[in-house]
Chains A and B, each alone.
Chain A
Amino acid sequence: MPGSDPETSSQSSSPSSSESSSPAHEPVTDLSDLPPAWSGRRALTWPGVPLLVAMALWVYSVRHTDVSRLDDYGLVTALHPAFWGGLVVLTAGFWCTVRDPRRPGAWAAAYVLGLLVMERATQAVLYPTPLYAWAWKHEAVIDHLLTAGGLQTADQVGDMAVYDQWPGFFAAQAALVRLLGVESAAMFMAWWPLVSSLMLLLPLLLIYRTFTEDRRLIWTAVWLFYVANWVGQDYFSPQSVAYALHVGVLAVVLRRFGRSAVRRGRPRQAVWTVVITVMITAIVISHQLTPGMLVVCLLALGLSRRYRDWVPVVTTVVIFLAWCLTAALPFLSAAMPDMIRSVGDVGANVETGYGATPTGTGAIATSWAARLLSGSVLLLAAVGVLRQRVLRHRARPLLLVAAAPLPMFAASSYGSEMIFRVLLFMLPGAAFFAAAAILPKVRTLAADAAAQQAGGRQAAPAKGRWWRPGAWVPSAALLLGTLAFVPSYSGKDRINYFPPQEVALVRQLFDQAPGGSLVVAANRNYPHAYASYWSIDHYWFLDDARSHVDRIVRDPAATLASDMAGVERPARAYFLLTQGQLANSEMNGQLTGAQLDRIRTSVDASPRFRLVAENSAGWLYELKQAGGAER
């Protein structure tokens, strides 16, 4: 800390202000100020009881949950009530455990791991196939790299060449698929949310441990981070790994690039620059947005005197520019005009785009749950910043890191996703201050000593005040936030889940489609949507102009046949309609189920189409071709 900082002179928090008890004269502001209910060895081991109960309820619930008929509330209504009971027990157990200084810190870690299992492994256990069309798309990119054996350009793979220009994640996964000897990444990608969330645990702990020794604050912040991270970027994607590395770089910079030790005559070792260079390079070769976010975070850190070391930001900028001006140049030169146009257009950048308007009671309710969850955490963070004067001063660098991604709203819409990405990158800092809002005030050492002295003269014990509403608000906030995660994260599973029948139907299509074929579908929300994208063309008509979509709705079979007529033998033209497409279109305010059903009926009745396959999850038609080209 700079020499002028009051912290360096005499101020420090109370011992586990922290961890033990509040001064006797202070009224109880939170349950954590109360003395522990149990004492002795029992107090050390009892946290295992609620944890075991919660895990038992979780196991029972996943064995009794049926996901074959999801409604518009996704997993929320499908889950067995025992799941909710388990989550309540887990949260209550965590909240009681983390505030007792005599219990080993390992219990808090065990509860967080329990939370991760309930949050991020439930879907992997319940669903027989991986979720998210985007994850299936990334599986196709890996398949492409394994097939091609090298990187390809837009001339060869069209728009999908962008993945060949940031191939780090896909190349590593391609190696993993082959080394494991499995057929494809689909064999393990359902578990990726759990893996990527676990990867975040160590850097988060390190970041929080840079600013406080208070175990309650550290673990509550970690808990809030995980429950607020509903954005869904933990799936099988470059973003998930790049984000973990981003948080890792921040942890190293916060711990090792400060100036305290420099002032004590201990220069920073160059090896730390080498360490972050490896991590930054891995980020840069994997993901477009994360290096930009890292640069703004590091620049913001530079505003604090404690971290005015420009080596990390210069290293990031140099590596990022080097990659952009070489490997990624083809994509950037093509996309640059649009990117420049979107700079400063905050309104458009914040919009979530057409086809992303929640429609139907379930979609709207879960969407509001997500908004309320994010809004509440950010509001709590603001309360924490305002309320915790000492912490605001001590953890100012973290406050800067939390605020740094906000200007990115002005930079780009990032495919209508910028608002979610900004939220994601704000979370490490926001969760810390949100946790501070629901924990007792951190005091300076001087204030604490004064309070202790004053407390000796007053005999107003804190006991008996626990029923005050203010004492329960933090517990309620933590519990509601934890429960709200489920609808926010799993409320759209009707869109994201593809039953095995749907996977089999699409697989059948790609098994028989000759090279050069065309697959027409309503949208790209189905498994294997990008399978063989280097040899098979796709047309998703809901991506087209509204006037053309209206024409398809008015006269489906004729319009679609006309759209598909350009395909020449031996290639084929297929029309595919699946459950995932229907759910996506309905719940995002595009065509209704009735409209899509009318399209299918029209195609089914048309003599120009032939039914190739159908099952409970969809239909596959082929356009009849007369000898050679029809057009």
Chain B
Amino acid sequence: MTPQELVVRMLPPFGGWLALAALALPGGSPLRGAAVVLFLAAGPGAAMVRVCAPALGARPAEEPVERRDPDFARHSDLLERLMLVLFLSIGAVMLVATVLIATHTFSAQRVLLTLTLLTTLAAFCPPLRASPPPRTTPRTPKGSAQ
């Protein structure tokens, strides 16, 4: 693992623990707000996208018929990853908060702690490998000479 990969992997959980630490700051403080909002808007999604990245990129996306800009597809994929980081984070916050409130165990600190733990767990998960494409040629029977 390169240092860059390590940073990408550990940044989301670090953001979570930083947000938890920021709760010690006074209510309404801009630093506390920035740490919390940044983590809630990007942390869980970034962790999920990192784990799923190889599988997510295994197949090219649908593209316009005209293909003139060689970087167009790459830029679209980048925008897509950014969108997923944001929307998966929002989805995770909503789901965790709803589960806690539905089970009468809600507290904001628990929401943040749960998300941080999940993000930390994801940081230790290996990347999800893409499923292989189906074989198009018939299998060679065992023992047959090739």
A residues near B (Cβ < 8 Å) are 1, 7-8, 11-13, 15-18, 145, 149-151, 167-169, 171-172, 174-182, 187, 199, 202-203, 205-206, 209-214, 241, 244-245, 248, 251-252, 254-256, 258, 260-261, 265-272, 274-275, 278-279, 281-282, 285-286, 306, 327, 394, 445
Residue B139 at the chain A interface, CB threshold 8 Å? no
Tell me the nearest residue of chain A to B25, going by C-beta: A181
Residue B118 at the chain A interface, CB threshold 8 Å? no
Which residues of B sit under 8 angstroms from A205, Cβ to Cβ?
79
Contact sample, A vs B, 21 pairs, CB 8 Å cutoff: A1-B65, A16-B68, A17-B66, A168-B94, A168-B95, A171-B97, A175-B112, A178-B107, A181-B26, A181-B27, A202-B82, A206-B83, A210-B62, A210-B76, A212-B66, A214-B66, A245-B90, A245-B91, A251-B83, A265-B133, A271-B56
Contact B87 A244 (CB under 8 A): yes
Interface of chain A, main secondary structure: helix
Which residues of A sit under 8 angstroms from B66, Cβ to Cβ?
12-13, 15, 17-18, 212-214, 445
Task: Please name the 4 residue pairs, one residue from A and one from B, whose CB atoms are nearest each other, closest first.
Answer: A181-B27, A178-B108, A171-B97, A282-B91
* A327–B92 alpha-carbon span in the complex (Å): 19
Which residues of A sit under 8 angstroms from B48, Cβ to Cβ?
278
Tell me the nearest residue of chain B to A18, going by C-beta: B66
Interface centre among B25, B92, B93, B94 (most CB of A within 10 A): B94
Which residues of B sit under 8 angstroms from A210, Cβ to Cβ?
61-64, 76
Could you tell me which residues of chain B, from 55 to 83, have a CB within 8 Å of some CB in chain A? 55-56, 58-69, 72, 76, 79-80, 82-83
Contact B90 A180 (CB under 8 A): no
Contact B28 A182 (CB under 8 A): yes
Contact B59 A174 (CB under 8 A): no
Tell me the nearest residue of chain B to A442, going by C-beta: B66
Contact B72 A278 (CB under 8 A): no
Which residues of B sit under 8 angstroms from A252, Cβ to Cβ?
80, 84
* A287–B119 alpha-carbon span in the complex (Å): 26
B79–chain A nearest beta-carbon distance, Å: 6
Which residues of A sit under 8 angstroms from B63, Cβ to Cβ?
210
* A169–B95 alpha-carbon span in the complex (Å): 9
* A161–B9 alpha-carbon span in the complex (Å): 42
* A204–B140 alpha-carbon span in the complex (Å): 47
A273–chain B nearest beta-carbon distance, Å: 11
B7–chain A nearest beta-carbon distance, Å: 24
Tell me the nearest residue of chain A to B111, going by C-beta: A175
Which residues of A sit under 8 angstroms from B19, Cβ to Cβ?
179
- A278/B88 contact (C-beta < 8 A), A175-B93, A265-B134, A285-B95 known: yes
Contact B90 A241 (CB under 8 A): yes
Contact A286 B94 (CB under 8 A): yes
Tell me the nearest residue of chain B to A306, going by C-beta: B62
Tell me the nearest residue of chain B to A181, going by C-beta: B27
What is the number of contacts between chain A and chain B, taking CB atoms within 8 Å?
A: 199
Contact of B102 (CB < 8 Å), options: A13, A150, A180: A150
- A172/B93 contact (C-beta < 8 A), A167-B98, A269-B55, A272-B56 known: yes
Contact of B101 (CB < 8 Å), options: A145, A266, A281, A306: A145
The digit string for B96-112, where 1 denotes a CB below 8 A from any CB of A, is: 01101111101111011
- A179/B104 contact (C-beta < 8 A), A209-B79, A210-B63, A211-B64 known: no
- A209/B64 contact (C-beta < 8 A), A150-B104, A180-B33 known: yes
Contact B130 A269 (CB under 8 A): yes
Contact A266 B100 (CB under 8 A): no
Interface centre among A8, A202, A270 (most CB of B within 10 A): A202
* A203–B80 alpha-carbon span in the complex (Å): 8
Which residues of B sit under 8 angstroms from A281, Cβ to Cβ?
91, 95
Contact A175 B108 (CB under 8 A): yes
Which residues of B sit under 8 angstroms from A202, Cβ to Cβ?
79, 82-83, 86
Contact B106 A179 (CB under 8 A): no
* A17–B69 alpha-carbon span in the complex (Å): 13
Contact B61 A256 (CB under 8 A): yes
Contact of B67 (CB < 8 Å), options: A213, A269, A275: A213
* A627–B81 alpha-carbon span in the complex (Å): 67
* A256–B82 alpha-carbon span in the complex (Å): 16
Residue B11 at the chain A interface, CB threshold 8 Å? no
Interface centre among A171, A175, A180, A282 (most CB of B within 10 A): A175
Contact A267 B64 (CB under 8 A): no
Contact B131 A270 (CB under 8 A): yes
* A51–B117 alpha-carbon span in the complex (Å): 44
* A272–B131 alpha-carbon span in the complex (Å): 12
A510–chain B nearest beta-carbon distance, Å: 22
* A18–B64 alpha-carbon span in the complex (Å): 13
The digit string for B27-47, where 1 denotes a CB below 8 A from any CB of A, is: 111001100110010000000
Tell me the nearest residue of chain A to B72, going by C-beta: A213
Contact A180 B80 (CB under 8 A): no
Contact of B100 (CB < 8 Å), options: A171, A265, A285: A171
Contact B65 A394 (CB under 8 A): yes
Residue B128 at the chain A interface, CB threshold 8 Å? yes
Contact A279 B87 (CB under 8 A): yes
- A327/B102 contact (C-beta < 8 A), A16-B68, A202-B83, A206-B76 known: yes
Which residues of B sit under 8 angstroms from A1, Cβ to Cβ?
65
Which residues of A sit under 8 angstroms from B146, Cβ to Cβ?
none
* A53–B94 alpha-carbon span in the complex (Å): 40
Residue B23 at the chain A interface, CB threshold 8 Å? yes
Supplied contacts A171-B101, A251-B83, A269-B131, 15 more A-B pairs, CB within 8 Å: A149-B104, A168-B94, A171-B106, A172-B94, A175-B111, A176-B108, A180-B36, A180-B37, A181-B27, A182-B27, A202-B79, A206-B80, A245-B90, A255-B62, A256-B62
Contact of A206 (CB < 8 Å), options: B79, B88, B93, B136: B79
Contact of A176 (CB < 8 Å), options: B36, B79, B131, B136: B36
